[in-house]
A and B are shown apart, each in its own frame.
Chain A
Amino acid sequence: MSRPSRPLRTIVLRLAGAAFVLWAVATLTFFAIHLVPGDPAQAILGGPGSQASQEALDRVRSEYGLDQPLVAQYGAMLGRLVTGDLGTSYSLKTSVADVVGAQIAGTLLLAVLALALAWVIAVGLALWSSAPGRVARAVSGGIELTAAALPHFWLATVLIAVFATGLGWLPPVSNGAASGLVLPVVTLAIPLAGFLAQLMREHLLVALEQPFATSALARGETAVGVRLRHALRHAAIPAVHLSGWAIGYLISGAVVVETIFARPGLGRTLLRATELRDVPMVMGVVLVVALVYVVITVVTDVVAALVDPRLRTAGTAR
């Protein structure tokens, strides 16, 4: 029974897997740039319309190392990435890492607050919809389904129309004050809450059928007590596992939400860079988001492997 090496092996395998994913993401994005029709040197000088001279193109090519063989460029890119250098933005001509560093805090704040709010709503909804009674189940199930189906841009528009334009309680744009954070966070949290609630309810219902739930009831635990003290933990584990995905999803949602609420951040930077076809900037932001995703996923997996004895034998996640 006592195999202390198992968790360690799980963790090492998990870290190796994470390193592979990051390397693959970097490689994929690098070769994607070079497969695309169009000359990067031209893009740096403002696109095909700029009619850049041959000398200018040559100068840019040597400046950005574009005259090197592809393999050498690839090696140089990997070397730079390891040191945290994400390259130079085509449109801003500044370091991508600096821009990302300046914008990431606001977006992560938004994502973390939205995740917390989504958890609160989801636990409430899941507890409600696992309650006995067909009406409660149907109504809460309908709310979960609808919440999960709401696109961010639509929800944001409705919230602005009701709470900013209509009632005037909250500002329609994020002006730096805490009140400006409310609508963006709610917009991001509601669809995620519907999603998490559906997931939690599934696992809650499964847990409630387990012998430990029956024995707790037999010991005199109430229906609510069984849910709160026993079943909820089991229902929360899969949702915790999805934290990395949830944060990534929220950052992706921030592209829309930050644009609508005129809030500076990674999402808006990403959209601007996409519009300007600023390839290094988009690559940089996507790489950083992938890094955030991978790190959170690994941390939650490792913590789960250390905490939950059942996982030590399960090997790596798929």
Chain B
Amino acid sequence: MSELELRAQAGAAGSGPKPALRRRRVPRAATLLALAFVAFLAVAVVAPWLLETADPNAIAPREAFEPPSPAHWFGTDESGRDVYSRVVEGTSASLAIGVAATAIGLALGLALGALAALGGRVLDFAIGRVNEVLFAFPGILLALLVIVLWGPGPVTATVAVGLSTAPGYARIIRGELLSIRDSGYVEAARVLGHGGGRILVRHVLPNALVPVAALATLGIGQAVVWASSLSYLGLGAQPPAPEWGAMLSAGRTYITTAWWLTVFPGLMIVFTTLATTVLGRALTARDGGRR
């Protein structure tokens, strides 16, 4: 569940009169917290050893299943490995899946959305129907369909998540492009006699840039959640990889005895989603103020 779905679905909420989702102002404190968390993630990707308190792969069977303590902030797992250090170590792998899935979804969504908005009525109608069909596979069902056909694994999971997010992107991008196409400045350019190509390059694309960047930011959070859900179910990245979803999947066995094995890696996913949502909204709000 994410801001991205909210926008895709809110835009489709029936045929009634629909006020556009407001460009909400984001409290400064929330933006700063989100930026701080993103900075933490960035360090965890580039130089994880700066944040780790122990070797993420060092096995210490005698210290297995220790609850969180000053020595092991997030506790230890079944092999006595430090969960906090493993969470830090797993940041790059987890974000890589999220970013790659977002790239796939966004690229498809951009292509479909642009064709629908700018390619004439027939294409718009056809893509609208394709989208309607894809929306009939809610949540991770489309991803499960892809996985049953091509087999589980991190690559399939990434592609599957990318495909399942594409219709949402397409719908939102179509809306954004239509609002730009029908805007006063594009009409002015047309009246001035500028050609379609020039209007596209000089007016439509620059104005679509920030909304698309905001979408991509929002999308990473959703992609990380879906990819980790698949990993949690054992269909994505596999243990013993220190990827958040795989850690969750390994911890699933001990769900009633060692809650910290799933709660802390999951918390990273929750914070990542929150941070991307806040930043995506802040970008959207800035864009709204500019227009």
Measured CB to CB, the residues of A under 8 A from B are: 10, 17, 20-22, 24-25, 28-29, 32-33, 36, 138, 142, 145-146, 148-154, 157-158, 160-161, 164-165, 172, 191-192, 194-195, 198-199, 202-203, 205-206, 237-242, 245, 248-249, 251-253, 255-256, 259-260, 270-271, 273-275, 277-279, 282-283, 286, 289-290, 293-294, 300-301, 304-305, 308, 310-311, 314-318
Contacts and interface: CB of A to CB of B under 8 A. Distances in A.
A192 B9 CA distance: 13
A314 B13 CA distance: 13
Contact of B145 (A194, A256, A286): A286
A152 B229 contact: yes
B241 to A, nearest CB: 17
Kindly list the 5 A-B residue pairs having the minimum CB-CB distance in the complex, ordered from nearest: A252-B139, A248-B138, A241-B14, A154-B266, A161-B259
Contacts of A277: 148, 151
B263 interface: yes
Given A199-B6, A238-B16, A245-B9, 5 more contacts: A32-B145, A199-B9, A206-B19, A237-B13, A256-B233
A266 to B, nearest CB: 11
B154 to A, nearest CB: 16
A191 B269 CA distance: 14
A255 B151 CA distance: 18
A274 B263 contact: no
A17 B136 CA distance: 12
B263 A314 contact: no
B136 A151 contact: no
Nearest to A312: B15
Interface in B149-207: 149-152
Q: DSSP majority for the A interface?
A: helix
A279 B145 CA distance: 8
Given A32-B149, A153-B232, A242 B9 contact: yes
Centre residue among B137, B140, B228, B273 by max chain A CB count within 10 A = B137
B259 A151 contact: no
Binding site secondary structure of chain B: helix
Contact of B14 (A138, A146, A194, A300): A300
Given A158-B263, A274-B147, A277-B148, A151 B270 contact: yes
B259 A145 contact: no
B263 A157 contact: yes
Contacts of A172: 255-256
Nearest to B138: A248
5 contacts: A151-B228, A154-B248, A165-B257, A191-B1, A286-B144
A158 B262 CA distance: 9
A198 B24 CA distance: 11
B138 A195 contact: no
Contacts of B22: 202, 205
B138 to A, nearest CB: 3
B10 interface: yes
A241 B43 CA distance: 43
A142 B26 CA distance: 10
Contacts of A195: 1, 5-6
A250 B152 CA distance: 23
B274 to A, nearest CB: 5
Contacts of B6: 148, 195, 198-199
B128 interface: yes
Nearest to A314: B15
B133 A25 contact: yes
Interface in B221-278: 221, 225, 228-229, 232-235, 248, 252, 255-257, 259, 262-263, 266-267, 269-270, 273-274, 277-278
